[in-house]
Amino acid sequence: MLPILLLEAHCFFPQTAGWIIKTSLSDKKENEFKCWDADGRGPCVWDTFTHQGGERVFENQTGDVACGSYALWEEDLKCIKQLGLTHYRFSLSWSRLLPDGTTGFINQKGIDYYNKIIDDLLRNGVTPIVAIYHFDLPQALEDQGGWLSEAIVEAFDKYAQFCFRTFGDRVKQWLTINEPNTLAILAYDMGIFAPGVPHFGTGGYQAAHNLIKAHARSWHSYDSLFRKEQKGFVSLSLFFCWLEPADPNSVLDQEATKRAINFQLDFFAKPIFIDGDYPELVKSQIATMSKKQGYPSSRLPEFTEEEKKMIKGTADFFAVQYYTTRLVRHQENEKGELSFLQDVEIEFFPNPSWENVGWIYVVPWGIRKLLKYIKDTYNNPVIYITENGFPQCDPPSLDDTQRWEYFRHTFQELFKVIVYGFRGFRPCLFDLVYLRQTSCKWVMRARRVSHSMANRERGLRHILNAYFPRILFHTPLA
C-alpha cells in the first residue's frame, strides 16, 4: 500500500495506511440493490418496510434501483481504478445468497455476482473488505422473530460460515455485522428502521443481546474452521458520534456524557473487547429504571458465564464509523417513560455554530478524541475507520469544495492521532462514496451518480479527480 500525504502539513501517514471506497445504497446498505427481486434474490426486511409506503422513508423511496451497481459494476470499477484506491468495502446481501435465509436453498447467481466483484478487485490490486450483514435480514427470518429471537444466533452463524467457505479463500478482512448498535435501537427499540415495529425499552436490548452472541459465534466459527487455512481477520463495525458535556463545568452533564458513551459504544465494545459483559454503569442504570417502572427484574438480558467466555475477545481489530459529534445534557426521566433514550437520561444536540448538512455537523476534532478514547479504553487495538464522510444535498453538484475541506481537516486531526502511539492504525479507511440514504434527506458522494436518470450515469467529482490521486502519490498541493 502507498503512504498518504497529509495536506498542508506535508507529513505522512504510516506505510500501512490505505484508502477505501465503499458503496452504501439506501439504508439497506447493500451494494447491489439494483434488480432487487431479480436473479433469485429473496425479499429482505427493507423491501417489506419500504414497499409499505406511508412516508416511512423520505419521499417513499424504495431503493429498488438506487445507484444501479448491480448492473453497472464495470463502471464502478473504472472509478475505483481511476482514484488509485487500495481497498473496496461492500456488503453481501443475505437474501441474494440465501433467499430464505438458510442454506436449504443457495442462489448460485448471487455467488457468481460476488465472485466477480472479488476477483475483479484482486485483479486490479484492490483489497476487498466484506461486511456479511448490513441491516438486510431476509424477510423469512424476520417472520420467525428476527433479531428478537434466540434462534437468529444459529441462523447467522450458519450464514457466516457459508460466506467464509465460499469467499474466504480471497477475502481476508471481514466485518460480521455493520453497526449493530444502530440496528438494535433504530430498528427494534424505536422502530424507525426495518422491520419498523417499535418495542420501546425492551426490543433494542433483546436484539443487541442476540447480535452480540451472533457475532461471537461467527468469530469462533472462523477461528476454529477457517483461520488456519485462510489467514484472515474478523471484527464488527460500531457506529459512534463523539460526545462532549454541554456544560463542561457541570457534574451532571459530565456524568450524563459518560452514561451516553457507555450506552452507545461500550455497550457492544466492552463485552467483545474486554470481559464478555455489559458495562456496570449500563446494567445498574437499566436495573434502576426497570425497578422504578415496576418490572420484577432488569429489562436488560443477562449473559451466562459460559456466554461471557464465548463473547470475550472476539474481534481481531476495532472497526469504528464516525461522522459527527454531539453535546450531551443530563435530563432526568421523571415520568418513568419507557425507551432506550429515557434509560440513558440525556438529551443530545449539536452546537449551533457548527457547520452542517442534515444531521452531520462538521467536527473534525471529534474523530481524534474518539480514537484516543478507544486506544485508552480498549488496550490500544488496531483501529480501522470503516466509515466517514460528509453529505451533499440533492441535486448533487460536481463542485465538491465544501466536502473536500471536511476531509482535509479530518486528515489533519488523524495525523495528530499518530503521535499518541497507537499499536496499529491501518488501514485508514474513508467512506468516499456514500450514495443514497432512503430514510434521510441527504446524499453524499465522492463520485457523481445520477439517481434521477434511468442509466444512473457515473462520473468522478471534480475535486477528487484533481486532488485525491495527488494524495496517494505524494504530490504536494498548491
Separation CA 309–CA 168 (nearest Å): 26
- The crossing angle, in degrees rounded to 10, of helices 151-167 and 108-123 is 50
Residue whose C-alpha cell reads 436490548 in the numeric block: 205
Cis peptide, bond prior to residue 195, ω within 30 of zero? yes
Separation CA 89–CA 17 (nearest Å): 15
- Do residues 414 and 402 lie in contact, with contact meaning Cβ atoms separated by under 8 Å? no
Separation CA 12–CA 464 (nearest Å): 19
Asked if 179 is an active-site residue, the reply is yes
* Catalytic annotation, pick one of 179, 255, 280, 345: 179
Listed residue (260, 269, 241, 248) closest to 367, CA to CA: 241
Separation CA 31–CA 91 (nearest Å): 6
Q: Residue 59's CB: how many other CB atoms inside 10 A?
A: 7
* Catalytic annotation, pick one of 387, 405, 413, 457: 387
Residue 330, SS3 per DSSP: strand
**Per-residue DSSP letter, 115:** H
- Do residues 4 and 429 lie in contact, with contact meaning Cβ atoms separated by under 8 Å? no
Residue spans of alpha helices (H) in 99-202: 108-123, 139-142, 151-167, 180-183
Residue 231 region by backbone torsions, left for phi larger than 0, else alpha for psi between -120 and 50, else beta: left
Q: Residue 455's CB: how many other CB atoms inside 10 A?
A: 10
Separation CA 222–CA 315 (nearest Å): 11
* Residues in contact with 358: Cβ distance below 8 Å, sequence separation at least 6, in sequence order: 391, 393, 440, 441, 442
Separation CA 389–CA 400 (nearest Å): 12
Separation CA 154–CA 328 (nearest Å): 38
| b/e burial code for range 234-250 (CB count within 10 A of at least 16 → b) | bbbbbbbbbbbbbeeee
Q: Which residue spans within 294-373 are E strands per DSSP?
A: 318-321, 325-330, 346-349, 356-357, 360-361
Give the active site residues.
179, 387
